[in-house]
Each structure stands twice: as C-alpha cells, then as structure tokens.
Amino acid sequence: MAVPHGIVVLDKPAGITSRDAVDHACKRLKTREIGHCGTLDPLATGVLVLVIGRARRLQELLAKSRKVYAARIKLGATSVTDDSEGPITETSPLPPPPTDEQVRAGAARFVGEIEQRPPRYSAVKVDGERLYDLARRGEGIDAPMRRVTVYELQVTRYEWPFIDLTVASAGGTYVRSIARDLGALLGTGGYLAQLARTESGGFRQSEATSLEQLGPEHVLPLENALRHFPRVDIAASQALRLGNGAAVRAEVPPLSLADDSPVFGWVNGHAVALLAKAGPQRVRSSRLLVTLPELQRLAEAELAAAPQQAQRERASYDDDERR
C-alpha cells in the first residue's frame, strides 16, 4: 500500500498523549511516517493536526501556527504540573477572592508578546533532556524564560474559584503557564483544570475526526493546511527550473516581501514548494513538497490545458533572462 501524503485533523480525546494519538494513527493508516503539529497534554482534548509522508517537511512550520483554546482555571491552589493531574496544594492562608474587575485586569496582562516560563513537566529540552524526565527523577529545574505571542485572551466567565478563558496564541505557548502565572498575579495560586483546543492552523474542531473513525479517507491534501499562507502561482514553463533550484520570476505578494512570512509556490492548483525570496519578482525553492517527476507531470498537465498561453509565458521569460 502506498504511503499517503497529506494531513489529518484529529479530535484528540482526554487521557492520552499526543504521541499515543500518533501511534494509533500509524496503525490505522499503516504508515510510520506521521508527526503532529503541536503537543496536547493528556488532560487536553481537541484539534491535533497530523502530517503524513512528505507533509512532515512542514511539521515545524505548521506547529507554529495560530491556535485557539477554551480553558478553565481553578484558583485557590497550585499544582506541581500546573494542571489538575499533578499533586495539588491548597493556598493557605487563602486571601479574599479577587473581584471580577481584578480577574479581567489581570488576564489582560497576558496579551501580546510576553515572557513565559514553560511548566516543569513539559517536553521542553534543557541541556538535551526533557523537563518532564528531569522532574520525574526528582531533578526538576526551571526552564529559561522565553517569548511567546498571545493574540487574544478573553475572560468568558468568572465564578470563584473558576475562570473560563478563550485564548488565541502562536504555537509554543503554554496555557498551563498562563493559569499558573495568573493565579500568582491574583495572589491566590491557580492551575489549569480543563483545556480544549478548538482551532489549530485554521482547522476547527468541527472539521476533526475521532481516533475510532480515522481511516485513509480522512487524509486531506497538504494544500488544505496551506490555505492561510501567501501563495505564488508558478508558470508551468518555469516549474522544472524551480525544482532544480533556479530562481524564477513570480508575482510575490507585497506583504510577504516586507516580512519573513512563509510563501508557497503552486503549479496547476497544487502546492509544490516552500519558497525563498531571491529579489524583486524572483523566488527559488527552499523546500520541495513534491518529487521532480510529480512536478513535471503537473507542469505537463498545465501546458496541455493551455499550450499557447504557456508558450507566450516561456518566450517572455526567455526575453527577460536575455536582458
């Protein structure tokens, strides 16, 4: 059976790790070539985007994409793991419960680019070792602070001792750390009681499939995961030059030229490469997403569909190169 290439939008249940979910998907899809785009702790449920086959080439990039969570924080106690799974210590003496105004003002301080310390029980590596491995051996240390981005944080409900939040953040943000730090800011202590990821990389929970239902028919084309990234259409007459590492002419979106946002090259309706900007109206491939024979077939199909237009594009390109 051929290895599938693409993505799966999975609805992870509580009680298993993201690695467990990947292992289950490997069995269901009969391939070991699967990764995920952003860890969900065992406590958490919701959207876990899996990358399969050549789609794994974009795993790191997609893991950084925007994610949205529905979270519940419990005040009045702290947790070794910063969530409900760790040993819980009640805050004593317990101060008066914060007011609604204090809770909302405190939550607002976690919006934007913030400094955050990952939980001691997390997959972050320090000196080559995972923090959770060190913690389980009784050698728990604090990870270095790092900058993360929180786009939005809204308090949807507060009724002591629970705060319900909606959090939209870039990949790498720990909602457990927000729960811990907000509890400390309010003087009561706090930990993450519940967490559901409702969106990841533009995919919503309503689009996700369960582990029990997962099958080959749920593998989506990689193009589905790239729908929110800037796109450059590469002429069929230049496609193989792109595949061979040459710079080619293309209309690059102005916003993409101004920053480091990823841009993808498409040929005949298919994403074929992550592009690097090589100057005004010039791009080259920094990572191919298809094989060279596949790229050639896509180009030939486009040439066959519009041969006269392709010839004009080729002549124009040759003239430009001569100049």
Instruction: DSSP letter for 5, please.
Output: -
For CA atoms 40, 44, 49, 52, give the dihedral sign. positive
Beta bridge partners of 8: 50
CA distances from 99 to 140, 165, 167, 185 (A): 34, 16, 21, 13
Beta bridge partners of 80: none
Question: Which residue out of 11, 41, 82, 181 is catalytically annotated?
Answer: 41
**Three-state SS annotation for 153-214:** EEEEEEECCEEEEEEEECCCCCHHHHHHHHHHHHCCCEEEEEEEEEEECCEEHHHCECCCCC
Instruction: Give the DSSP H or E segment for 6.
Output: strand 6-12
Q: Cα separation of 180 and 184, whole Å?
A: 6
Distance of CA 196 to the CA centre of its chain: 15
Cβ pair 229, 285 in contact under 8 A: no
Q: Cα separation of 104 and 155, whole Å?
A: 6
Q: Cα separation of 147 and 137, whole Å?
A: 28
Decide: helix, strand or coil at residue 271. strand
Specify whether 41 is catalytic.
Answer: yes
- Written as six digits, the tokens of 320 are 């430009």
Residues carrying an active site annotation: 41
